[in-house]
Each structure stands twice: as C-alpha cells, then as structure tokens.
Structure 1
Amino acid sequence: MILKNKISIAILAAAMIGLGGCASSEDEEAKAVANQGVQALYANARESMAVGNYAQAAQTLSAIDSKYPFGAHSHQVQLDLIFSYYKVGKPDQALATIDRFVRLNPNHADVDYAYFMRGVTNMELDNNLFQEMLGVDRSDRDPSKSREAFEDFRRLIQKYPNSKYATDASERMLHIKNRLASYEIAVARYYMRRQAYVAAANRGRYVIENFPDTTQVQPALEIMVSSYNQLNLTELKQNTMRTLRLNYPDSEFLD
C-alpha cells in the first residue's frame, strides 16, 4: 500500500511538472509573440488572412491595434481588422471598428471601403440563417438593419460616386429594396387577415410609390384591388385594375 502511494505521488508530481512545463512554454510563447515588432506581427496577421484563418488574424490585428494605435500600419491594420471581424461573424466589433475609422480618418483614401463594409455588415445582421437553411419565408421580420445598410450604401455612392465599390453597392441597394418591399407586403397581408383594408391598401400604395423597381409591385397592386373591393371603392379598384392589367396581364385578380 505504501509503495503504491509513493508511485501515485511520483506520477502526480511528474504530471504537475509536465503541466507546469506546458504552462511555462505557453507563457514564453505568448511573451515571444508580444515582444515581436509590429512588422512581424502584421506579417503573421496577413499570413493568417491569406489561409483563411480570420479568427487568428483578428486576434493578432486587435493586439497590433491596441499596442501600436498610431503606427505606420495603423490604418491598414484597422481595415484588415474590419474584414476579419466580418468574416468570423463578429458584426458588432466590425461596426465599432468601422465607425472609429471613419470618425478618425474622414479623408482617408480608403474610407469608401469602410462605408461599403458598414453596409455589408448591416446586411449580414439582417440575414436569417435558419431562413436560408430551411427555406422559411420570414419577410415579416424587422428590417431596420436593412434600412441601415441601404443608408450606408447610399452615403457611399453619394460621397464617392467613382468608388470601385459603387457598382456593387448599387446592386446591393436593389436587393435591399426588394427586402423592404417584401416586408411591406407581409404587413399588408397581415392587415388583410385582420380586415384592416384601408391600412392594407396604404401599404400596397407605399410599395408602388417607393419601390417601383422591385418584384413586389404585382402583389402590391393585387392587395390594393382586393382592399378597394372590400371597401366598395369602385373607382379606385377599377383604376388599379387597369394598371395591373397593363403590367401583369396574367394576374389571377383579373379573372
């Protein structure tokens, strides 16, 4: 029994020494990284980005940003950090870094990129993973982040019409318009179910007036026709029917 206890104690002591050695090794490695110059740290971060390890890149870039906030690489570090945060699904950190960059560097040559990434990040916040995975229509969810993204892209195009990101931003704005129009249609259909026909017709008209270049114009007209019919507003119904017939002759509401 005594022999067994001595063996157990020896094994435990060896294990503790080993753990201590590992901890010491890790501490030394951390210190070595911390003692690297900004050039070496930034090279490591860029290498991590190149192989798609954005989590490691974000960690290293954040360390550089904290330790060398006004260094020669500070602007590019922040821009890379924005992208790395976006790639690893940390939109709040990305937005905070974007806002700080724009506030401190309003005239920087790459500030248009910051505006663009703000729009892209807000679009990502509006996305619903489960909707994409399961094909569930959730167009009725709050579109506030899409509205923010739309404003980000609008500001980019207004301030920097010749930016290399302007074309992409315009295409994304069209996508967002469809998203916002879909939300209005979802709300209008809710009002229809509640027999709130005036509210439903107003939502339909809002889509026609504000999103005429989207795919939601036809359902908007159909909701208006149905609402006016329920409200016995014959003239408004007939006018809307003419517009519907002219643009969507295959609509079932024309039967």
Structure 2
Amino acid sequence: MNGMDSGLAARVTKHLKTLLKLAVLAAPLALAACGGKDDLDELALNDTPPEVLFNEGLALRAQGNLRDSTEKFEELDKLYPYSEYSKKSLVNLAFLNYSRGKYTEAITAAQRFVTLYPGDEDAAYMLYIAGQSYFRQMPDITRDQGPTERAASAFQDLIQRYPDSEYTADAEQKLRVVRDQLGGKEMQIGRYYLKRRNYVASINRFKNVVLNYQTTRHVEEALFRLTESYYALGVVSEAQTAAAVLGHNYPDTQWYKDAFTLLNEGGFQPSEDEGSWISRAFRGINVL
C-alpha cells in the first residue's frame, strides 16, 4: 500500500490553499535565504520571528523541497511551541511527513495537533492524516495487525467526532477495508485452531467475526466454521443454528451447501434455536 491517493492530494491542495498564499508574499525573503543548508541553519536562530520561519517553510514546500520545508516547520515548532504559527506548522508537518512516507512522524504531528486543538477546524483533517498513515502501513494478513487496528481507531474517531467533515466519506470507505482485513485475520487464526482440533479456541475466533465483523465478506465462512466446530464438539444444536442462520442469510453459497451436507451426513438438518447467541446476533440483539 504505497503511494498517495490522488483524491487526498487534491483535498490537501484545497485545504492549505490559504496558507500557500502567504508563501507568495514571503517569497522574496524566503528565496533569498534558501540558497543552501548553511543559509537555512543561519536563519534558524532563536530570535528569528515565527512568521518568517513559517513563510520560509511554505516557500520551500512550494518549490518542492519537502525535506528542508519539514526541517523549517520542525524548527519553528521547537522555538515557538503552542503559538499560532506552531499550530499551523503541525498541520504542515503532518502532511509533509505523510507525503514523504514518514508515517510515524506524520502520526505524531497529527495526534499532537488533535490533543492540543481538538476543537480546531483542522482537527478532522489531522485525524484523517493519522488514519491514512496507519492505513499505508497495514501488513499482510499473516502478520500482527496492530497498524490495522490503529487505522480503524483513527477513522472511527474521525467519523464519530466530525460526521460532517469532507474527509468522513473517504474514512468510511477505508474503514470498510480495514474491518475486512481484521475479520480476515480472525478467520486465519480460527482456521489454525480448527485444523488442530482446538475447537473451543476456533469457536471464539469465528464468534468474534460474527459479532464484530458481520458486514464483511468473512461472515459466511465464519458461520460454516462454527457449524464445523460445534458439530465436532458434539454441540449439535449450535451447529444446527449456525447452519440455519447461514441458510437464511446466504442460501445460495457453497458455504451453506457444505454446512447442510455436513449435518445431513450425521442425520441432522439445519434448525435455528432462537435463544442461541448466533440467532440473537443476527437479529441485532447484544449477546455480550
């Protein structure tokens, strides 16, 4: 998952358009001071006004010099913490680090902004950058899903706190992808336990998919695996319920055909026990 969404790039350009206008005003001063690294170091003195540092950072960014622009905003943040220019610098730092693939640094800047300025109009954008940064670090299904879980948390936070934000629709779309991957990880672990006949452990994993990832593509297989696991344990009523719920919701799938065949070979039929947690979960009843 490398690269940057074209949609995000467009939104960022629009979002920071006002800030970039300041760079035009400061361009003569900034360009004169940006001849090289030594010049940058000389200007980054404790008595350099924050507005000068900020406009120099914008000018560097406008030139495409993202590394030096990042350093300039970092310098400003260190010299004038909690100032209005420091707040604007955090927005730029989050975006610049994300653009450069430095996701840890982007997340740090974004989270700091949200912590310090939760009511600011840019807070939603910062949560979006944090979510995107985690999203870009999502590993394959065989590895630990820590970044995936954190992406889900950031996107959920954005959706809940800023439902009217221009970033919410994309966050909802990304969250569906994230949740599908988390459900897939649960399925992988559940299958691992099932293969080793650790049925209680496998049931717990498939149950988590049914309860927490019911809208993902994995729920059909999860119901079949629950049928398998419960049947192997001799808990026939729950196996019958899992198969019946699978048949009610996904009657034309191979998973239901396999569940039906499994029970039929033992002389049983799918039959729903409405008191079962499986049945209640699909009726929208909290079973926890």
Q: Scaled by the length of structure 2, what TM-score is found?
A: 0.67
**Structure 2 CA distance for partners of 1:59 and 1:155, relative to 1, 3 Å:** same
Residue 187 of structure 1: how far off its partner (Å): 0.8
Is the partner of 2:136 in helix, strand or coil? helix
Greater mean alpha carbon deviation, residues 178-187 or residues 29-38: 29-38
Q: Are positions 1:167 and 2:177 aligned together?
A: no
**Structure 2 CA distance for partners of 1:62 and 1:218, relative to 1, 3 Å:** same
**Structure 2 CA distance for partners of 1:236 and 1:47, relative to 1, 3 Å:** same
Gaps in structure 1 of 5+ consecutive residues: 1-24, 129-137
Residue 181 of structure 1: how far off its partner (Å): 0.6
Q: Which residue of 2 aligns with 1:57?
A: 69
**Structure 2 CA distance for partners of 1:31 and 1:180, relative to 1, 3 Å:** closer
Alignment of 1:207-246 (within 5 A): 207-246=209-248
Residue 195 of structure 1: how far off its partner (Å): 0.9
Find the partner of 2:201 among 194, 199, 202: 199
Is the partner of 1:208 in helix, strand or coil? helix
- Structure 1 distance, partners of 2:199, 2:38, is 71
Is the partner of 1:60 in helix, strand or coil? helix
- Structure 2 distance, partners of 1:219, 1:194, is 18
**Structure 2 CA distance for partners of 1:251 and 1:48, relative to 1, 3 Å:** farther
**Structure 2 CA distance for partners of 1:55 and 1:82, relative to 1, 3 Å:** same
Following TM superposition, the consecutive aligned residue runs of length 4 or more in structure 1 with deviations greater than 6 angstroms are none
Greater mean alpha carbon deviation, residues 102-111 or residues 26-35: 26-35
- Structure 2 distance, partners of 1:230, 1:54, is 59
Residue 103 of structure 1: how far off its partner (Å): 2.5
Residue 66 of structure 1: how far off its partner (Å): 2.5
**Structure 2 CA distance for partners of 1:30 and 1:60, relative to 1, 3 Å:** closer
- The answer (yes or no) to whether the contact 1:244–1:251 under 8 Å persists in 2 is no
Letter in 2 for 1:103: T
Superposed CA offset, 1:81-123 (max 9, x none): 0111122222222222223222322322211222222222222
Q: Which residue of 2 aligns with 1:148?
A: 150
User: Percent identity between the aligned chains?
Assistant: 26
Q: Which residue of 1 aligns with 2:17?
A: none
Letter in 2 for 1:108: D
- Structure 2 distance, partners of 1:159, 1:214, is 24
Q: Which residue of 1 aligns with 2:254?
A: 251
Letter in 2 for 1:119: G
Residue 43 of structure 1: how far off its partner (Å): 4.2
Residue 216 of structure 1: how far off its partner (Å): 0.7
- Structure 1 distance, partners of 2:164, 2:37, is 49
Letter in 2 for 1:87: S
Q: Which residue of 2 aligns with 1:6?
A: none
Kindly indicate which of the two structures has a greater share of residues assigned to helix: 1
Q: Scaled by the length of structure 1, what TM-score is found?
A: 0.75
Alignment of 1:126-141 (within 5 A): 127-128=138-139, 138-141=140-143
- Structure 2 distance, partners of 1:27, 1:97, is 24
Q: Which residue of 2 aligns with 1:157?
A: 159
**Structure 2 CA distance for partners of 1:31 and 1:155, relative to 1, 3 Å:** closer
Residue 79 of structure 1: how far off its partner (Å): 0.2
- Structure 1 distance, partners of 2:124, 2:157, is 9
Query: How large is the RMSD of aligned CA atoms in angstroms?
Result: 2.6
- The answer (yes or no) to whether the contact 1:181–1:216 under 8 Å persists in 2 is yes
Residue 221 of structure 1: how far off its partner (Å): 1.3
- Structure 2 distance, partners of 1:28, 1:233, is 75
Letter in 2 for 1:79: V
Find the partner of 1:180 among 179, 182, 185: 182
- Structure 1 distance, partners of 2:37, 2:178, is 48
**Structure 2 CA distance for partners of 1:54 and 1:74, relative to 1, 3 Å:** same
- The answer (yes or no) to whether the contact 1:204–1:224 under 8 Å persists in 2 is yes
Residue 188 of structure 1: how far off its partner (Å): 0.1
Q: Which residue of 2 aligns with 1:123?
A: 135
- Structure 2 distance, partners of 1:175, 1:197, is 28
